Homo-oligomer: A and B are copies of this chain.
Amino acid sequence: MVTRPPRLADVAKAAGVSTATASMALNGTGGTRIGADTRARVRAAAAELGYRPNTVARGLRTRRTHMIGFVGDDVATTPFAGQMIRGAHDAARKAGFLLLMIDTTGDPSETGEAIAALQERQIDGILMATMYHQVIDVPEEIGSTPVVLLDSRSADGSASSVVPDERGGTLGVLAELAAAGHRRIGHVTTAEDVEARRIRLDTWREHLTAYGLDPDELLAEAPEAMTRGGYDTAMRLLTRLDRPTAIFCFNDRMAMGVYRAADELGLSIPDDLSVVSYDDQELIAPELAPALTSAALPHYAMGRWAVEELLRRLDDPDAEPAGHLMPCPISRRDSVAPV
């Protein structure tokens, strides 16, 4: 005999009450209408039977599924994604929500389909995550579904969003260098037109200008933000007559190239050259020799915040969309020394 799982009606019958009473007793709703002993009887019956509410039925009635759609443009490829998902997952679970994941593989036409698939399932809200900090338009398919953007901002500020405080992080690592007495700080970056590049570059420019230095003298760009690009650009900066005493790298991968270039030129890090970077990638920054000082991308925290914000919006759909800058903590390691 296949015993199907107990329904609320079974619990009610076992406790000798109506399903309405059972529902209210278990959910604590209905105010004072349920007596203490009745409540206890229902609870005991539920425990006895191993009752688990059918959230599909509940969802149909209440229009709340306690599921959040997570739309990512590439779940797998970057190690960052995992942390973002994890932050979102943890915050969701704490509030009794689960994540319904969907990956668009970066294909924009997929995004509309993904959103529709989630909406059919009556998710309570949507998290839209991008792998890199960027500015996007909220897809119109979203309609009135509450949404929070993760690692990207909406062009018109119509949706809540959380992005890393790139400016703060940049100022942070530059402050490390300044504290060690560095002035001539080079910057190696990518030519790719991404938000992160723009902010880090502008902030660094500002910093140098404040010292009366000409940033353009100390800037080098590579086509791509990879090791190779870091190597090439560092070579250019470090073979100049008045080479910088420190380099701020766009990211850790480029920093790897800078390390190699310094090595080949017989420059010792941090004694002859200090290096700071961005991203604080797990398998890179702490593993380099010497370990690299880097501003961390707060993916876990952003994931968390996004869910918390989404839950806030579920409570109050008319609240103003919030744009949050998540601080990028500085991981201080061994790649910075006094001039």
Residues of A bordering B, CB below 8 Å: 2, 52-57, 59-60, 65, 67, 70, 75-77, 79, 81-83, 85-86, 89-90, 93, 98-103, 116-122, 144, 283
State the copy count for this chain: 2
Contacts of A56 in B (CB 8 A): 56, 59-60, 65, 121-122
In the A-B complex, the 10 residue pairs with the closest CB atoms: A76-B82, A76-B86, A56-B122, A56-B59, A55-B120, A56-B60, A99-B101, A52-B120, A55-B121, A101-B101
User: Which of B59, B75, B98, B117 meets A86, CB within 8 Å?
Assistant: B75
* A121 contacts B98, C-beta separation under 8 Å: yes
CB distance from A152 to the nearest CB of B (A): 20
Is B101 in contact with A85, judged by CB distance below 8 angstroms? yes
Instruction: Please name the residue on chain B nearest to A282 by beta carbon.
Output: B77
- Cβ–Cβ < 8 Å partners of A89 in chain B: 75, 101-103
Q: Kindly list chain B residues whose C-beta atoms are within 8 Å of the C-beta of A75.
A: 82, 85-86, 89
- Write out the residue numbers on chain B whose beta carbons fall within 8 Å of the beta carbon of A102: 89, 93, 98-99
Contacts of A99 in B (CB 8 A): 100-102
CA distance A100 to B98 in the complex (A): 7
Residues of B within 8 A of A82 (CB): 75-77, 79, 81-82
- The smallest C-beta distance from A117 to any residue of chain B, in angstroms, reads 7
> Is there contact, CB below 8 Å, between B101 and A117?
no
- 14 residue pairs of the A-B complex, CB under 8 angstroms, read A54-B122, A55-B120, A56-B121, A67-B100, A67-B121, A75-B85, A75-B86, A75-B89, A93-B102, A93-B117, A98-B121, A99-B100, A100-B101, A101-B101
